[in-house]
Amino acid sequence: MFHFMSLIIPIAVFLPNLLFFVLPPRNVPIHVLNKSKFIYHAAEGMGRVGVMVLPIFTRMHLDKQHEWISFSGMVVFLLLYYSGWLRYFKRNRDYQLLFAPMFGIPVPLAISPILYFLCAAVILHSSILFLSSLILAVGHIPISLKTYHQIHHVDK
């Protein structure tokens, strides 16, 4: 069954990505290659489909204390995610800002949405969403870290 309120969960993460396609990054280094292992890209793709589709068919629960704690975590991780996107757009869409640490967190635009979806799995009572979030993490975080290292550790 379709749950309209749960649709907010994937949309909240997906919205900044739409702006990314309309306003692409600037200063993309020539030496950055997307040559991560196929398994990382496959995991990222499968996880992404799971976290975007599964919430739509699951009802939110905010009755118990652990659900409210998870909801609070969602808010915190979403604010961190939006802070990273805001930094990217306010600083002229510089490519490296998509991967630069923030508040001591490496690749926050990769880590924060995964933590957000892990918390969402709790309020949706969805072990499948939890698993999809972990699968997304297996792909998205290593790919982002590799890109960060390519940007910052090139022999000049």
Q: How far is CA 117 from CA 19, 21, 30, in A?
A: 21, 22, 33
Where do the domains of the chain lie? 5-21+36-152
At 156 the pLDDT is 41
At 155 the pLDDT is 42
At 37 the pLDDT is 83
At 124 the pLDDT is 97
The CA-to-CA distance between both ends of the chain, in Å, stands at: 55
* Short-list 95, 96, 140, CA closest to 115: 140
- pLDDT tens, residue order, the chain (156 aa): 788 888 999 999 999 989 888 999 999 887 776 666 888 889 999 999 999 999 999 999 999 999 999 999 999 999 999 999 999 999 999 999 999 999 999 999 999 999 999 999 999 999 999 999 999 999 999 999 999 998 887 544
At 47 the pLDDT is 95
* Short-list 140, 87, 92, 94, CA closest to 116: 140
